[in-house]
């Protein structure tokens, strides 16, 4: 690498796991590009990172639900001469309620943000990583991608399962050339996610041992991608859950998922 500092692009950087990634990478002397829809939050975070770590922090407000959002984001990077070494595909949210009770544009936007945009960003940026012989891609997936789907939030687990398989294939395609790809799979994480989906009251009933702090998730994720792990499930509890579901017969696993999902998924739109 010829640059003084690596450059990290973090999507969904305005809160939660995204802002935790930005802080952790800036603390490791990475310059950062922060993107999300909320400019005020991004600017506040950028000021914090410049002041605490002396790094360059660039804010590029962007809506990945826009079909041209990724193209516009990459054009903005090119205009500034910014070459991305670390891509953290973190942007995401949930759509509560039953599948048919939401309008199709709601689902279309969701799929663009959680599936199409991270895939396109990886496609647009990985060639430069390969040419330079160095790169890291962290696709923030979920424990939900390893267990049976739930009633309500219909597309969420499906999108995360896609990101896991996509990350595995991309990791295999880039073995031994200095480009590592990892699907990071947290479980319940303290963030705004459940406030946005309207399930805070439900998930607040979950016991504390099921939860992780965002900075702990991020620390595990950085270590995992540096090791070259194609998939990493964070936390001992979450790894146990994954293993148990893997051993169960499909019918039993689906019945258990149906029972447990009532505890934390909004299944019917009001």
What is the set of active-site residues?
156
Burial status of residue 52 (CB atoms within 10 A of its CB: 0-12, 13-18, 19 or more): exposed
Max Cα distance, the chain (Å)? 55
DSSP strands (E only) in the chain: 7-11, 31-35, 57-59, 86-89, 135-140, 179-185, 188-189, 211-212, 231-233
**3-class DSSP assignment, residue 232:** strand
Say how many C-beta atoms besides its own lie within 10 A of residue 88's C-beta.
31
Sign of the torsion angle spanned by Cα atoms 212, 218, 223, 224: positive
* Tally of CA atoms within 13 A in the half-sphere of 104 that contains its CB: 0
CB-based contacts of 122, cutoff 8 Å, min separation 6: 87, 89, 137, 139, 166, 170, 181
* Residue 156 to residue 153: CA distance in whole angstroms: 6
Q: How far apart are CA 198 and CA 71, in angstroms?
A: 31
- Please name the helix (run of DSSP H) or strand (run of DSSP E) that holds residue 131, with its range, or none: helix 117-132
Q: Are strands 188-189 and 179-185 parallel, antiparallel or unpaired?
A: unpaired
């Amino acid at each position: 690498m010829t640059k003084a500092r690596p450059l990290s692009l973090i999507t969904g950087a305005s809160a939660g796991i995204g802002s935790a990634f930005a802080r952790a990478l800036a603390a490791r002397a990475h310059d950062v590009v922060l993107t999300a829809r909320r400019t005020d939050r991004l600017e506040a975070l950028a000021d914090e990172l410049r002041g605490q770590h002396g790094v360059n922090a660039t804010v590029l407000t962007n809506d990945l639900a826009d079909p041209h959002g990724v193209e516009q984001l990459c054009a903005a990077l090119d205009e500034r001469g910014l070459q991305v070494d670390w891509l953290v595909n973190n942007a995401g949210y949930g759509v509560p309620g039953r599948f048919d009770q939401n309008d199709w544009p709601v689902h279309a936007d969701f799929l663009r943000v959680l599936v199409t945009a991270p895939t396109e960003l990886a496609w647009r940026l990985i060639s430069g990583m390969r040419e330079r012989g160095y790169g890291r891609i962290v696709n923030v997936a979920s424990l939900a991608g390893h267990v049976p789907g739930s009633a309500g939030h219909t597309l969420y687990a499906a999108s995360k399962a896609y990101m896991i398989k996509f990350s595995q294939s991309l990791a295999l395609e880039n073995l031994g050339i200095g480009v590592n790809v990892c699907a990071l799979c947290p479980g319940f994480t303290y963030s705004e996610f459940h406030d946005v989906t309207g399930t805070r009251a439900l998930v607040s009933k979950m016991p504390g041992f099921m939860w992780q702090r965002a900075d702990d998730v991020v620390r595990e994720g950085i270590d995992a991608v540096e090791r070259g792990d194609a998939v990493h499930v964070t936390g001992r509890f979450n790894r146990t859950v994954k293993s148990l579901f893997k051993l169960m017969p499909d019918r039993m696993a689906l019945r258990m998922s149906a029972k447990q999902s009532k505890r934390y998924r909004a299944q019917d739109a009001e």
